[in-house]
Structure 1
Amino acid sequence: MNKIEVKSNSDKIYPQFKRLYEESFPLAEQRTEFQQKMAFESERYHLICHEENNVLAGFISYWDFDNFIYIEHFAVNKDLRGRGYGFKIMEEFKSATDKILVLEIDKITDAQSAARLRFYKKCGFFENPHKHSHPGYGYGLGECPMLILSTQRQITSKEYAKFYSDLKNLAMRH
């Protein structure tokens, strides 16, 4: 699998990323095009696409903060799901850092959200007890209640407070 770091909205693979992004996340969990452009301007933001046989297999977008890495978005091409791509991408990503990875998922409301939680637990993530809502993106849809997952262990209340501060003041300002 080829890894491609996307650095702007004009990169060759960006249209494929954008299609997968839009079909994988509800509007309330998507950056506007302007917000995506602003994210690219931050040295903390990274978008890595994984390509297999000239097809976008999946991507991870993340923020590299001082004490942890926040995975903002992770998706696998729906035509390739169930073939181990997601697990392989996540395992490779986890092994490249010593930092705790933090991500958000939708609250468990149906079979699909339960399967998503099982997937992340299989990848070594822990469910955290912190009450959390993701600040809304630029579509005026408000906050999204979500679950917090982390690698290595559950994060403490103090670590959660730092995560939420970085989320609001760094990631969401771009």
Structure 2
Amino acid sequence: MLTFTKIQTSHPLYSFAEGLLHQAFPVDERRDDDAQRYNTDNNPAFNYYLVTDEEEENRTAIGLITVWELSGFRYVEHLATSPTIRNKGYGKRIMEALLKEFPGIIILEVERPEDEMSTRRIAFYQRCGFTLCNQDYLQPPYRKGGKSLPLYLMYAGTDSIDEQYPEIRDEIYQKVYDVDITARKSDNT
């Protein structure tokens, strides 16, 4: 059985989770360590979970997942599994546990299907019950001077997010990426 344990930076396996985050995501796809640690310890909307497998010897840590509690939905920011257990079905098991643990609307970002790996990743999430939202989505940069990434959102727990898409996007921008939406909206008018 998989377990999600909410951790803070004082947890003995926080360094495992932080190292896995570094290994799984390039610097442009994650915030800097100080900001990540601050959110982990101080932001009530941000949850850093260590994923363990109760069936493995000594409750082996197998991955991490970060989840934001936002208005009417949860946003999965990062999901990574340890290289030692990849290709053993854990990704699917983690997604199944996620949907069971957190009923309701769940949103995540995916790369656009521009190569085999990104196409396979979208198909994986679809097999796990997520639907691709084809509306344009631009992930804001995590760092000053960083680049925005053209992505798509995927969702589970609802038939569609089309009508709520602008509100969902704006809340992710504000809460997760610290984008000033009022300035952004005035730039677009």
1:155 counterpart residue number? 161
Cα deviation, residue 76, structure 1 = 1.3
Cα deviation, residue 128, structure 1 = 0.4
Alignment of 1:124-163 (within 5 A): 124-138=129-143, 140-151=145-156, 152-156=158-162, 158-163=163-168
- TM-score of the pair, normalised by structure 1: 0.90
Q: Which runs of 5+ in 2 are unaligned?
A: 180-189
1:99 counterpart residue number? 104
Cα deviation, residue 140, structure 1 = 2.6
Q: Using the alignment, how far apart are the partners of 2:106 and 2:120 within structure 1?
A: 20
Structure with bigger gyration radius: 2
Query: Residue 130 of structure 1: SS of its match in structure 2?
Result: strand
1:46 counterpart residue number? 47
1:4 counterpart residue number? 5
Cα deviation, residue 136, structure 1 = 0.5
Alignment of 1:1-174 (within 5 A): 1-7=2-8, 9-40=9-40, 41-52=42-53, 53=57, 55-138=60-143, 140-151=145-156, 152-156=158-162, 158-173=163-178
Cα deviation, residue 56, structure 1 = 2.6
Maintained 8 Å contact 1:134/1:145: yes
Number of residue-to-residue matches in the alignment: 172
Deviations 1:50-77 (A, max 9, x none): 1243543111101011211000011111
Q: Using the alignment, how far apart are the partners of 2:68 and 2:140 within structure 1?
A: 16
C-alpha RMSD of matched pairs (Å)? 1.8
CA gap 1:124/1:33 in 2 versus in 1, 3 angstroms: same
Query: Residue 34 of structure 2: SS of its match in structure 1?
Result: helix
Tell me whether 52-61 or 146-155 shows the greater mean CA deviation.
52-61
Query: Residue 131 of structure 1: SS of its match in structure 2?
Result: strand
Cα deviation, residue 139, structure 1 = 5.7
Cα deviation, residue 11, structure 1 = 2.0
Cα deviation, residue 10, structure 1 = 3.1
Tell me whether 135-144 or 11-20 shows the greater mean CA deviation.
135-144
Matched-pair identity in %: 24
- TM-score of the pair, normalised by structure 2: 0.83
Query: Residue 94 of structure 2: SS of its match in structure 1?
Result: helix
Tell me whether 26-35 or 47-56 shows the greater mean CA deviation.
47-56
Q: Which amino acid aligns with 1:37?
A: R
Which 4+ residue blocks in structure 1 deviate beyond 3 angstroms? 52-55
Q: Which amino acid aligns with 2:25?
A: F
CA gap 1:160/1:38 in 2 versus in 1, 3 angstroms: farther
- Greater relative contact order (Cα < 8 A, sep 6+): 1
